[in-house]
A and B are shown apart, each in its own frame.
Chain A
């Protein structure tokens, strides 16, 4: 017997939906993606949208952005916040950044924040298509290179300082001088952050521990993306475990998520002594208080508040911004872009040394990007007697000599 099964009804539904659409019975509530002119109520309520690469509760990079947006809503009256998170090829294989941006604009967003280096092209394409909407591409440099339309700004924090502090904390605490860095993907940003960590660690290893730089092992393993994408990246859990099995006793995280500290905590419970330095988000130590040496974090709130107000007032102009900490109080939630919270596992003695280190960075008496600095292949990064300028640091080409790990993908 030949039975036609679900195919007839399926055809029916397809046709029905076509007919319904054709008859104009389009549901009124459906958001439209067509280009919109500014809604009339924009003078009263200002909507800004955010496209996030990961989930808003990842305990890392994305949560920092999300909480910054909440900070803006709290501090600026009449502002509404909408977002789409997990925009990445693994979580949403069929959604492109442009599509997500268009949906947000369709829902009335006048300012769009995109928070991943991966979003550079999509942000530019959408910005060109919507010249009346403002865009902040966080962590990008297309304004600097001149490829971005005029309604785009770039914003990034000088995490280099945070990473130097992190490296120092690690070097102060390590028992065997073996530090491991859980790296995301390889690009100029991650290279300069790894280098900063190494510089901080080497300085404190030499100056506070009084040991030779040769005795410091510093290894990077890149997982391949900002967080674990099963099947695409290395599994950060496995990588962290492998660090521990190979005897590294501090795991510094450079990825968006918290596998490093979780595994260090597990290993410590299992009788080993492994410390961790998470990344990105102020509250990240909560994943393993006992092993947390502290966390360098982003505090996007103040800058987003400033830019939202700027966009609202229409005083927008393209800019590439690279904001540093407020050195008078790096943990001030209203002024400092970059902060460092000390963790419970950092001993009081080391905490004091770390404070001393931070003070040196703050007063400018210590600049770790001072030559001579060499790349892994022996070529010169910063010549002797010179100090690297922003552009040299931003476009770091390789990892520094002394670091074990890949420099280029």
Chain B
């Protein structure tokens, strides 16, 4: 392995939504992202896995500076983005790009593919200076994502979901970013198309040495494309490890329960159903310092109420927040 170069480094990232107290009513604090830290190396695909409401999308937007972090640092290739002004940030935005979930809403319906792909170059004229004329770059990037060059005069509506997602990838690629954040990039696609796009991302990574933060809720797709996976639960990363490690030997009971729940071909479920609580009452209070999973965890011990939010290095590259280091949890 060559010398690793850290592209993105996230340190103690927090995002709190606050409604101020007013008119004699107490304000509310919603802690959506809680003390999140991780690094991504060049050429790596890091998966950020979480169920709905776990804060994974917020992290993506915090990294891209589309939202302001409450506290913490986001360093892209060594320069801290969080403290920057909007103006100072603008030229840097070319170095990190996003791929969206629903490829239909990701494009201005009134722009042709040529306009869509030309926009980044118009906004960053230095890209044209460095890499050649607009038309040539568009042709090049379209061939990279496997689209014919004659699509440039069509509108996004005229494409299928998979083709649109290719255009979305092309728009991100044309700026030659150091980092791509793919937010549920394949969740809205049909199975066969999803497979095509996953393969495309892998090919592009190999070819262009891309660095990707792959945000999704689908663990199987993640197991396929990611080099490492971080599992999120209610705003916290509870486990982060190389993919095969995580899938074969999860060290956090939450990860294990997710792995158990993945539908798999050839495993017929046994009827035996866990009861379900009404309302939102069963959730652990935010910021009580305990493990967010302890209420549903069959291995929970007294210690879990005070501990279990900080990640600990268990073995090489395998971090987990669970206090029960002794557990031998089933993997896939």
- Do these two chains really belong together in a complex? no
The interface of chain B, by Cβ under 8 A from chain A, is none
The interface of chain A, by Cβ under 8 A from chain B, is none
